[in-house]
Amino acid sequence: MILQKGEKIHVIHRRHFEKDPHRHFIGVVDDYENGLARTTGHIFTVDAVKYIFFRRPELRTRIVALHSGDVIVNIIPQSVDLEKVIYKQEKKSVRVTDENGWHMDISDFAWR
């Protein structure tokens, strides 16, 4: 099976146009079947004025179609506390981190 119940994931929604918003999702897989993942977590988006990522406070349950071609899914280690995940801009790159040893550079996914 591609995804297991309880796995932590980071989802990047592909932007089709330059002005499309940056939409990311970080959460836990509740269930997985035939390329569809039911996940619960938080949406991260870009503040258009400050141009920084921020987490929406409300918890959401989403269905992610892995075979759609519209998402990039990264597996996050089980040790990462999802409530502590933040985005940090470092020079010309963007890093997703829990500030406790884990990080992922996402600069190659059309930042700016």
Quote the tokens at residue 84: 């502590």
pTM above 0.75, yes or no: yes
pLDDT for res 14: 83
Rounded to 10 degrees, what is the CA torsion of 73, 25, 79, 30? -80
Task: For 70-108, write each residue's pLDDT tens digit.
Answer: 899 999 999 999 999 998 887 777 889 998 989 998 876
Domain-wise residue ranges, the chain: 8-81
Q: What is the mean pLDDT of residues 39-50?
A: 86
Predicted pLDDT of residue 106: 82
Evaluate if residue 110 carries a pLDDT over 50: no
The two structure tokens encoding residue 73:
């899914």
Integer Cα distance of 38 and 31 in angstroms: 5
3-state secondary structure of 9: strand
* pLDDT given at position 81: 94
Question: What is the percentage of the chain residues whose pLDDT exceeds 70?
Answer: 96
Give the residue from 53, 46, 3 showing the smallest Cα distance to 28.
Answer: 3
